[in-house]
Amino acid sequence: MKNTLLIEKAYINGKFITATHKFDVINPSTNKLVGQLPNLSVADCRTAIQAADHAWKSWRKTSIGDRTTIVRKLYEAIRANKNELAEIMTLESGKPLNESLGEVDYGNSFVEWFAEEGKRSYGETIPSLKNGLRLSTIKQGVGVVAAITPWNFPLAMITRKVAPALVAGCTIVLKPASQTPFTAIALAKLAADAGVPDGVFNIITSKDSSEIGKELATNPLVRKITFTGSTKVGQILMEQASSTIKRVSFELGGNAPFIVFDDADIDNAVEGAIAGKFRNAGQTCVSVNRFYVQDTVYETFANKLAFAVSKLKVGDGLEKEVQIGPLINRKGLDKVKEHLADALQKGAKILIGGSQIEGNFFEPTVLSEVAHHSLIAEEETFGPICALFRFKTEEEAIRLANNTPFGLAAYFYSDNIHRCHRIAEQIESGMVGINVGLISNAGAPFGGIKQSGIGREGSKYGLDEYLEIKYLCFGN
Ligand code: ADP
């Protein structure tokens, strides 16, 4: 049956549009064409920004009740179209269908959360230090928001930006990743059906990310830019956004440590390691990148992990029971191979896996005795490789875990409550999983410190990212 949400058009000012120049979207599992989309120009991007600016004039005046009702309808529409959305996501990203179905729920949990939280954008009354003045604050939407999103979560990385922006009364121009734009277009269709007015949510499809990104980051009509992707691109966008002092929020790269202490429940740690490492074939910004395992439990953990990894099923995401899909493209695969070769050259040993299967598929791999100065310890691998490092003391574990310019997620396992508090407080990261490998939750603040980002998504803080505080001073 045809998937009616797979629409080969961009979306500007309430219209699905086409263009003579198109680009291909390729299924990374089969290397077959998923479809073609308009390769829009900077001029088209400007048109979308102007449409968003125009729409903002009326959208900002709608009531919070009306906006949250529309966003709630969007939530219902996503639920009703869960299978269609998941299929599109698997076709364009390669992730196993079960994960795509999970991502629809996860992505939609932000829509539900903000449909509720939008009602609570409270201002304050403030005691005045002088007689005769009454002080208060109100919160208002920042205005036109530009959003640039990556391919690893084609829906969730969009909904956690778009849902709070909508309820805050902002309008949006979104540039989804050119690898996975169809999920975004499907979302626009559902948003239009849910009653999001023309011009409030616009999607620019383009292969030319840097030109479109520059326009979004420098156009004076755009008040805020929100981006999820690499630290390198985040740096470019921040510099460009400085020309008009835009507000920014960035979710950037990570280099997550996963520490296993000698007092940990090892089976629990192995389960958490599989969940934290192999979701989306290791292609998430919170994927575990460095496993630090205490000397005395090192062999036990390594052997149990290798055994669990040997059970993982790799294949086309549309096939039943597949747990690991392909890498997103050749570039992603090459990075994994480069990290592996470097680790081996510096003395690492392969416990399981270690080879490309075919096409963009790579075997789930466990490496032991990895040297601390390996590339895999310094950069995100974004692939299905577990790199195991050894440590002796708690101080050493903390020092190694924090020895990175990144600070997004960190995980550790220990059954000692005092140690848990000590480590949680000393780890330099925005999020810490304690005896758990999956931490994302719409009600919790997601975000990084150091070069992993600015701002938070999800939670009440994720709404504040789209609101300005206006201070009102009433005289007599
Ligand atoms: P990844 O390596 O995960 O693809 P990127 O940061 O390169 O991470 O890409 C994330 C998003 O940023 C994608 O939508 C991509 O098209 C876009 N992008 C890439 N380069 C630029 C750029 N110079 N300016 C703006 N956006 C960019």
Report the CATH number that the domain containing residue 265 is assigned in CATH: 3.40.309.10
- What is the distance between the alpha carbons of residues 147 and 92, in angstroms, rounded to a whole number? 20
Å from CA of 63 to ligand 1 middle: 35
Place of tokens 């304690």: 434
Look at residue 404 and tell me if it is in a domain: yes
* Co-location of 270 and 163 in the same domain: no
Å from CA of 229 to ligand 1 middle: 6
* Co-location of 193 and 260 in the same domain: no
Please identify, by atom number, the ligand 1 atom nearest to the C-alpha of residue 176: 14
* Co-location of 400 and 467 in the same domain: no
Look at residue 69 and tell me if it is in a domain: yes
CB 397 within 8 A of CB 291: no
Look at residue 1 and tell me if it is in a domain: no
Strands 222-228 and 365-368: unpaired
- Choose the catalytic residue: 103, 112, 117, 251: 251
* Co-location of 206 and 76 in the same domain: yes
Pocket test for ligand 1, best of 23, 37, 42, 148 (most atoms within 8 A of CB): 148
* Co-location of 141 and 162 in the same domain: yes
Å from CA of 321 to ligand 1 middle: 31
pLDDT at 468: 98
Look at residue 442 and tell me if it is in a domain: no
Look at residue 5 and tell me if it is in a domain: no
* Co-location of 263 and 278 in the same domain: yes
* Co-location of 182 and 154 in the same domain: yes
* Co-location of 110 and 188 in the same domain: yes
Strand partners, 467: 141
Q: Which two tokens stand for residue 149?
A: 């999103």
pLDDT at 95: 95
Print the domain residue range for 167: 10-252+452-475
Give the orientation angle of helix 266-278 with respect to helix 298-310, to 10 degrees.
Answer: 50
Please identify, by atom number, the ligand 1 atom nearest to the C-alpha of residue 212: 25
Residues with CB under 6 A from ligand 1: 148-150, 177-178, 209-210, 213, 229-230, 233, 236-237
pLDDT at 320: 86
pLDDT at 68: 98
Tell me whether residue 129 is exposed, middle or buried, using C-beta atoms within 10 angstroms of its C-beta: 0 to 12, 13 to 18, 19 or more: exposed
pLDDT at 2: 87
Number of domains in the chain: 2
Q: What angle do CA 419, 422, 428 make, to 5 degrees?
A: 125
- What is the distance between the alpha carbons of residues 406 and 451, in angstroms, rounded to a whole number? 5
Please identify, by atom number, the ligand 1 atom nearest to the C-alpha of residue 228: 10
pLDDT at 234: 98
Tell me which long-range contacts 443-449 makes (C-beta under 8 A, separation of at least 24).
443/113, 446/160, 446/251, 447/249, 447/251, 447/408, 448/251, 448/252, 448/254, 448/406, 448/407, 448/408, 448/409, 449/407
Please identify, by atom number, the ligand 1 atom nearest to the C-alpha of residue 382: 3
pLDDT at 444: 98
Tens digits of pLDDT across the chain (476 residues): 689 999 999 999 999 999 999 999 999 999 999 999 999 999 999 999 999 999 999 999 999 999 999 999 999 999 999 999 999 999 999 999 999 999 999 999 999 999 999 999 999 999 999 999 999 999 999 999 999 999 999 999 999 999 999 999 999 999 999 999 999 999 999 999 999 999 999 999 999 999 999 999 999 999 999 999 999 999 999 999 999 999 999 999 999 999 999 999 999 999 999 999 999 999 999 999 999 999 999 999 999 999 999 999 999 999 989 999 999 999 999 999 999 999 999 999 999 999 999 999 999 999 999 999 999 999 999 999 999 999 999 999 999 999 999 999 999 999 999 999 999 999 999 999 999 999 999 999 999 999 999 999 999 999 999 999 999 999 98
pLDDT at 299: 98
- DSSP reduced 3-state for 216: helix
Pocket test for ligand 1, best of 149, 151, 207, 209 (most atoms within 8 A of CB): 209
The residue nearest atom 27 of ligand 1, judged by CA position, is 209
The residue nearest atom 9 of ligand 1, judged by CA position, is 229
Is residue 76 flagged as an active site residue? no
The residue nearest atom 4 of ligand 1, judged by CA position, is 150
Look at residue 149 and tell me if it is in a domain: yes
Å from CA of 150 to ligand 1 middle: 7
Look at residue 56 and tell me if it is in a domain: yes
